[in-house]
Amino acid sequence: MANEKIPYKVYLEENEMPKAWYNVRADMKKKPAPLLNPGTHEPMKAEELAPVFCDELIQQELDNDTPYFDIPEEIKEFYKMYRPSPLVRAYCLEKKLGTPAKIYYKFEGNNTSGSHKLNSAIAQAYYAKKQGLKGLTTETGAGQWGTALSMACAYLGLDLKVFMVKVSYEQKPFRREVMRTYGADVTPSPSETTNIGRKILAEHPGTNGSLGCAISEAVEVATTTPGYRYVLGSVLNQVLLHQSVIGLETKTAFDKIGVKPDMIIGCAGGGSNLGGLISPFMGEKLRGENDYQIIAVEPASCPSLTRGVYAYDFCDTGMVCPLAKMYTLGSDFIPAPNHAGGLRYHGMSPIISELYDQGLIEARSAAQTEVFEAAEYFARCEGILPAPESSHAIKVALDEAKKCKETGEEKTIVFGLTGTGYFDLYAYQKFNDGVMDDYIPTDEELAKYVSKLPKID
Amino acid sequence: MANEKIPYKVYLEENEMPKAWYNVRADMKKKPAPLLNPGTHEPMKAEELAPVFCDELIQQELDNDTPYFDIPEEIKEFYKMYRPSPLVRAYCLEKKLGTPAKIYYKFEGNNTSGSHKLNSAIAQAYYAKKQGLKGLTTETGAGQWGTALSMACAYLGLDLKVFMVKVSYEQKPFRREVMRTYGADVTPSPSETTNIGRKILAEHPGTNGSLGCAISEAVEVATTTPGYRYVLGSVLNQVLLHQSVIGLETKTAFDKIGVKPDMIIGCAGGGSNLGGLISPFMGEKLRGENDYQIIAVEPASCPSLTRGVYAYDFCDTGMVCPLAKMYTLGSDFIPAPNHAGGLRYHGMSPIISELYDQGLIEARSAAQTEVFEAAEYFARCEGILPAPESSHAIKVALDEAKKCKETGEEKTIVFGLTGTGYFDLYAYQKFNDGVMDDYIPTDEELAKYVSKLPKID
């Protein structure tokens, strides 16, 4: 009987951990569209990216062909401190739902960043250190990425300046304190410390800030401070490459217990977790070896895949970054202030966007209250208080498991539990108090932002 | 070479997890002193404890002879959701310290309660459910125990009323929200909802509350509400019994990698973590099979072992609980309000107290700032943001590892990393801002409280 054979948690041995990251672009016949120079609209060259990004990361960013990148020894050692993450069989959830579905989740929350973000943070910090840099700049929204990067920089002895979206900075003072404890310098964005920050503040006094705005500030500081570069926690190809460690571990764990998942579900904001989780499975799908149903779940308040357009757009509010072709809501789009947690980026990873456009990924959106209902249900059963982001995946996993109950299908479902909600109790409080807001942007609102997309032939 | 053989984290397989709790009292020649009836000063009988505690827990409390108690199947299943906890080799810490010592820690923080408390919470809730009870009451200080019990009660469908020490309730609104998310009813203590609460408020208007006071309120509600009993997260023999799962796993993990620790270090407030961690090692020590150096570390602001007296005392402020013989500072003692985190109980587990009195355990105290310095050092190196409580053990582990550096000794040190500090950022903020207070009570202050101990022959 399966219940007796498959443990609650499947851990890999250290020697079973991935030795190389997998680059799903290598198996894509139609590649993601290249980043464009915002002035010339020509594909960005490595040397044009060099003032902003670390050299080896640029190589990873631009390489659409190399299927595997060896994970450097130092990063493998760091991974061993908090990885492998467990692949968990949700026996309690299955029982409570009374579903014949087999539910698994890959839990990335058992590290102090509280999420999968550390997988790429340590990689990006490592290459910065290797390049002899002094420090890094970045933005953070909900705070997971900033925390992860603070941890990585503390470990490697790099300076770090974090621009934290103002609304998060104020709602989450404790996120800021974690970053400070790891030695990072944290500034609420927009700030008076940058040209672009001052410009945005002048145009939008009292703004709550946005990821796009914080990115612009971080890039400005990186490009004007000697020995600094900018790093980003999602969206980029390099980030999805590093995050493939999630999917590779998941695949190895499934192979170890002789299980093939039917359905893979992940939340999607910038796409780093989803892209990482699905990577080796998508590889098999692209190579025609196996088929999987893959579902991206995004917040109804920031619906880039389900209601955005697939077009070139600015990655940041200040329009200083390269243009990326992605599903986007327009670079001026900011989710309503009531939106909790992350997944608030106006665009989507070019890789995920292209795979979605090719029909290889489905997308669904979920409203806040139903997401938190799923979170509470999960927490009370499986014990883990999930991050709001991860709870989008939980919501759809529960929906699918309930469908199996109706149809009697014994589907194997795996979802990405990207993190914990320990720093999101402000949002849980709203939910507990019954005052959570499910505001969803109207078509007219969305059309307004999309109308401002740059014109590219 | 050891570095190549011993992984960063040693996990047990499910079938290697403990099947029975170990009762260290069975191997103690001189047993811990019995609980006394506060009126008659006679040893408490099971029937006298029955209005307050669950029946099977009373049996466990009073049993000084049975060496092993089978862990019920349902509890073993729950344990599998978040256990085994990893035994971690702190390679990074060793390297940064440049010490020949081998440092390990047993990490109990990878569950939403953020600590080891869940090990006993699920056990106590299970026996309450088995007895057909409707609900439970308890107190919580820093909030870990209340969170753990909320999770256990949510899982088993029991009601829960938590009295939370007022200062913590106010400093840690998010702890309260976690408990609410798990369906618990949380009241700041002292409160107007109980007789004893009203009495304490009348006598000490504006009091910040204390564990002793919250216990009194919780006991009052348990004994006056049909279908309710009271449960406690530390101090009691039954709690140390359940927490033996920590030590048993640690021992099995060490046996698996062929290592024998020389030194075992744990923080000590009520003694549940320390008692659990050391139990099988202490068993060997008591039976003369092996020797281990065992160190309890307590806050200098609440120094029951290092500066208290070994005597019968009240367990609570309201003096409604049985008398326990323990190292105590007096039941009226409350650590200064600047004291961060848990470990704020005026007494110490009778088992730990007796073992300490027999010279089988050493005790040290540490001041807040040096504890947070150790916490920060650890966090930046090993990645995990530790709980303030756990950081007491870290402090002494670092001290000992540094001594090894001086002497060249290759000691194997293991300490209990009881939990994470995600809900203690208020205290970290004080530390980061350099405004942490190291107030230590004077001898005169301590004498004042001890002078009020009950007179027992």
Interface of B with A in 413-452 (CB under 8 A): 420, 422-423, 425-426, 428-429, 431-432
CA distance, residue A177 to nearest chain B CA (Å): 6
**What is the pLDDT, as a whole number, of residue A4?**
54
Q: Quick check: B92 and A112 CB within 8 A?
A: no
Nearest CB partner across the interface for A181, out of B7, B155, B376? B376
Q: Quick check: A174 and B177 CB within 8 A?
A: no
Query: At residue A96, what are phi and psi to the nearest 5 degrees?
Result: -65, -35
Interface of A with B in 348-377 (CB under 8 A): 376
Calculate mean pLDDT across residues A186-197: 96
pLDDT tens digit sequence for A411-452? 999 999 999 999 999 999 999 999 998 999 999 999 999 999
**What is the pLDDT, as a whole number, of residue A293?**
98
Tell which residue, A217, A221, A239, A210, has the closest CA to residue A330: A210
Q: Is A13 on the interface with B (CB under 8 A)?
A: yes
Q: A13 contacts in B (CB within 8 Å)?
A: 7
Query: At residue B295, what are phi and psi to the nearest 5 degrees?
Result: -125, 125
**Mutation to test the A interface, candidates B94, B169, B385, B436, most A Cβ within 10 Å:** B385
Topology of the domain comprising A81-114+244-450:
Rossmann fold (3.40.50)
- Determine the Cα angle at A90 with ends A81 and B147, to 5°: 70
Calculate mean pLDDT across residues A73-92: 97
According to DSSP, the residues that pair with B263 across neighbouring strands are B293, B413
Q: Are strands A412-417 and A263-267 parallel, antiparallel or unpaired?
A: parallel
Calculate mean pLDDT across residues B378-389: 96
Q: Count the Cβ atoms, other than its own, within 10 Å of residue B19.
A: 12
Calculate mean pLDDT across residues B241-250: 98
Residue B421 token pair: 């500090």
CA distances from B70 to B23, B67, B76, B194 (A): 11, 10, 10, 37
Cα A242 from Cα B95, distance rounded (Å): 26
Can the peptide bond before residue A190 be classed as cis, meaning omega within 30 degrees of 0?
A: yes
Mean pLDDT of chain B: 95
Tell which residue, A136, A119, A120, has the closest CA to residue A128: A136
Calculate mean pLDDT across residues B427-446: 94
Topology of the domain comprising B51-70+117-237:
Rossmann fold (3.40.50)
Q: A183 contacts in B (CB within 8 Å)?
A: 380
Axis crossing angle, helix B272-286 with helix B237-257, rounded to the nearest 10: 60
Does the pLDDT of residue B33 top 70, yes or no?
Answer: yes
Q: Quick check: A112 and B423 CB within 8 A?
A: no
Residues of chain A with CATH 3.40.50.1100: 51-70+117-237, 81-114+244-450
Tell which residue, A295, A249, A296, has the closest CA to residue A270: A296
Q: Is B178 on the interface with A (CB under 8 A)?
A: yes
Q: Is B380 on the interface with A (CB under 8 A)?
A: yes
Cα A233 from Cα A210, distance rounded (Å): 15
Does the pLDDT of residue B23 top 70, yes or no?
Answer: yes
Does the pLDDT of residue A303 top 50, yes or no?
Answer: yes
pLDDT tens digit sequence for A376-419? 999 999 999 999 999 999 999 999 999 999 999 999 999 999 99
Q: Count the Cβ atoms, other than its own, within 10 Å of residue A187.
A: 22
Contact indicator for A331, A313 with CB cutoff of 8 Å: yes
Q: B111 contacts in A (CB within 8 Å)?
A: 383-384
Length of chain A in terms of residues written: 457
Q: A431 contacts in B (CB within 8 Å)?
A: 181
Does the pLDDT of residue A3 top 50, yes or no?
Answer: no
Cα A388 from Cα A431, distance rounded (Å): 11
Q: A169 contacts in B (CB within 8 Å)?
A: none
Burial of A140 by CB count in 10 Å (0-12 exposed, 13-18 middle, 19+ buried)?
buried
CA distance, residue A375 to nearest chain B CA (Å): 9
pLDDT tens digit sequence for A109-123? 999 999 999 999 999
Cα B201 from Cα B194, distance rounded (Å): 10
Burial pattern B104-132, b for ≥16 Cβ within 10 A else e, equals bbbbbbbbbbbbbbbbbbbbbbbbbbeee
Q: Quick check: B384 and A8 CB within 8 A?
A: no
pLDDT tens digit sequence for B99-143? 999 999 999 999 999 999 999 999 999 999 999 999 999 999 889
Does the pLDDT of residue A202 top 70, yes or no?
Answer: yes
Q: Say how many Å lie between the first and final Cα of chain A, rounded.
A: 58
Q: Quick check: A383 and B81 CB within 8 A?
A: yes
**Mutation to test the A interface, candidates B122, B149, B174, most A Cβ within 10 Å:** B174
Residue A13 token pair: 């041995």
Dihedral sign computed on CA atoms, order A149, A151, A155, A157 = positive
Q: Is B111 on the interface with A (CB under 8 A)?
A: yes
Q: A118 contacts in B (CB within 8 Å)?
A: 383
Nearest CA in chain B to A381: B155
CA distance, residue A113 to nearest chain B CA (Å): 9
Across A163-172, A377-386, B322-331, least confident range: A163-172
- Determine the Cα angle at A409 with ends A403 and A414, to 5°: 75
Q: Quick check: A381 and B155 CB within 8 A?
A: yes
Q: Say how many Å lie between the first and final Cα of chain B, rounded.
A: 58
Nearest CA in chain A to B89: A81
Query: Residue type for A358, please?
Result: Q
Q: A174 contacts in B (CB within 8 Å)?
A: 174, 422, 425-426, 429
Query: Residue type for A30, please?
Result: K
Query: At residue A118, what are phi and psi to the nearest 5 degrees?
Result: -60, -30
